[in-house]
Structure 1
């Protein structure tokens, strides 16, 4: 099957041809991956006879899939220019991400709120990729609704919630950007991102 046709199933259709050309131009192995709870995408530089490799989670909405794909291609482009001599999300990467996002801005691929969030993110060098909560929240609005799933920030204080692995936590106070949560069984304290996806445990 033609790669652009495959990409159209995951990306906004007008974005697929350009991503297809990038895959060819950079001679990149591009993989649509299973969900990885800790990251949306991944870039691996050439190593041990293999070329550039990018993987993106299959279950992202089309806009999140595109932002993640451009994010990883900006890592590839930065590696080609500098190898390991610069920081992963330093000014060189930011410059490439901004430049590589431009064609999609020109085609008006993104809804206004996502476009604005990306622009704001690119003008804020202190924020690292997925930890930019404003951009993350904007992208999440376009996810299909998930039954029984909520985020830590939407839970009331002292609410009990559980993770996919079945562990149960109680939400405590906010410490700067994260929420302090106590695992009920072990009483250990963990810090959760406000946008971590969890399931509310009904109080009996």
Structure 2
């Protein structure tokens, strides 16, 4: 099947042709990946005979899929220009991300709130796009509803919740940008991102 037709299943349709051209131009292996809780996408530089490799999680909504794809292609472009001389999310990468995002702004691919969040992020050189909560929240609004799933920041204090792996925690106070949470089985303390997705345990008695 034509790669653009495949990409249209994951991207806003107007964005698919350009991403298809980038895959060809940069001679990049582009993989639509399983869900990875720790990251939306990944870029691997050429190594031991392998070329550029990008993977993006299959279950992202179209706007999150596009932002992640451009994010990773900006890493590729920056590697081509600077190899190991540029920081992963440094000025060089940010400049490339901004340039590579511009065609999608011109096509008016994004809803206004996402476009504003991207623009704001690009004007803030202190944050990486992975940790920019304003951008993350604006993208998440376009996810399909997930039954019984809520973000840590929306839980009342002392709420008990579990992760996909079954571990159970109790929400404690906020420490700067993250929430202190106690794992009930071990009494260990973990710091959770405000936007971490968890499942509430009702009437927890243990």
TM-score (norm 1): 0.99
Within a 5 Å distance, the mapping from 1:37-186 to structure 2 comes to 37-186=37-186
Any idea what the Cα deviations from partners look like across 1:155-195, whole Å, max 9, x if unmatched?
A: 00000000001110000000000000000010000000000
Q: Residues of 2 paired with 1:104 and 1:203: CA distance?
A: 47
User: Could you say what secondary structure the match of 1:19 adopts?
Assistant: helix
After the TM superposition, list the runs of 4 or more consecutive aligned residues in structure 1 that deviate by more than 3 angstroms. Answer: none
- Output the aligned Cα RMSD: 0.5
What are the Cα deviations for residues 14-37 of structure 1, in whole angstroms up to 9, with x where unaligned?
000000000000000000000000
SS of 1:74's partner is helix
Partner Cα separation in structure 2 for residue 128 and residue 62 of structure 1: 20
The answer as to 2:3 corresponding to 1:3 is yes
Deviations 1:86-137 (A, max 9, x none): 1000000000000000000000000000000000000000001210000000
Q: 3-state SS of the aligned residue for 1:142?
A: coil
Question: TM-score when scaled to structure 2?
Answer: 0.98
The aligned residue for residue 36 of structure 2 is 36
Runs (5+) with no aligned partner, structure 1: none
**Alpha-carbon deviations, 1:12-68, whole Å to 9, x = none?**
000000000000000000000000000000000000001000000000000000000
Structure-2 separation of matches of 1:144 and 1:197: 14
Find the residue that maps to 1:130 and give its secondary structure: coil
Aligned residues: 204
Aligned-partner Cα distance in 2 for 1:138–1:64: 9
